[in-house]
């Protein structure tokens, strides 16, 4: 594989590497968070033998990510583990911030759109916030503005730079890539006039 610096790569190239698990972690200087273990029913009591599927699942979670035991990660879906350096946020005194997100369901979209209260300019913000499933190692809490897991508080404290990164992830993952769009319009749609 050809070695290039991060600034020589486009966002799409880096994004594709991350999805494939090929990207080097330029932020990997901090000590690891507690590891998430995945147990396999076929393993022995000592846990020495695990299936390849269990190993792949455990390896998919970055060592710095904190996944609370109350959160079940969706099988077969892409899960994004995000961390922000303190200096990127509006409240650097709180240290590194993390979140875990995955794409929206139709029900998620309805909840987010209700929160816009008819203000069209808030739509992307609310849809992006709805993707956030874990905040700083705590399951997302939509019941209040403050407290552990509060999405509203997290959204405010991470600041504009980090909010924009999350919005970019939302937009990229909820729309077709240019080649997929070309395929759709070139091969997946037909418009015909009905005789009559």
In a domain, residue 82? The reply is: yes
Query: Which pTM does this prediction carry?
Result: 0.67
CA angle 76–175–172, rounded 5-degree value:
80
The answer to whether residue 6 sits within a structural domain is no
State the pLDDT confidence band at 145, using cuts at 50, 70 and 90.
Answer: confident
Between vectors from CA 24 to CA 154 and to CA 128, what angle results, nearest 5°?
30
CATH number at residue 75: 3.30.2220
What pLDDT does 22 receive?
58
**Terminal-to-terminal C-alpha distance of the chain:** 59
In a domain, 123, yes or no: yes
The predicted pLDDT at position 42 comes to: 39
**Is residue 141 domain-resident?**
yes
- Could you read off the pLDDT of 7-61 as tens digits, one per residue? 455 556 655 665 565 555 544 444 444 444 333 333 444 444 444 444 445 557 9
Is the residue at 156 inside a domain? yes
How many domains does the chain divide into? 1
Q: Which domain holds residue 168?
A: 59-176
């Amino acid at each position: 594989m050809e070695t290039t610096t991060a600034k020589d790569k486009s966002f799409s190239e880096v994004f594709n590497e991350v999805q494939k698990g090929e990207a080097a972690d330029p932020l990997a200087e901090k000590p690891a968070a507690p590891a998430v273990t995945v147990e396999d029913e076929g393993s022995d009591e000592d846990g020495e033998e695990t299936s390849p599927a269990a190993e792949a699942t455990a390896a998919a979670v970055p060592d710095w990510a904190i996944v609370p035991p109350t959160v079940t990660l969706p099988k077969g879906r892409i899960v994004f583990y995000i961390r922000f350096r303190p200096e990127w946020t509006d409240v650097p005194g709180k240290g590194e911030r993390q979140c875990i997100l995955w794409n929206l369901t139709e029900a998620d979209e309805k909840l987010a759109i209700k929160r816009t209260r008819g203000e069209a300019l808030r739509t992307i913000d609310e849809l992006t916030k709805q993707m956030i499933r874990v905040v700083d190692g705590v399951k997302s809490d939509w019941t209040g503005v403050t407290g552990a897991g509060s999405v509203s508080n997290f959204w405010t404290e991470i600041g504009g730079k980090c909010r924009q990164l999350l919005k970019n992830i939302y937009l990229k993952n909820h729309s077709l890539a240019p080649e997929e769009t070309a395929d759709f319009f070139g091969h997946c749609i037909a418009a015909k006039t009905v005789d009559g």
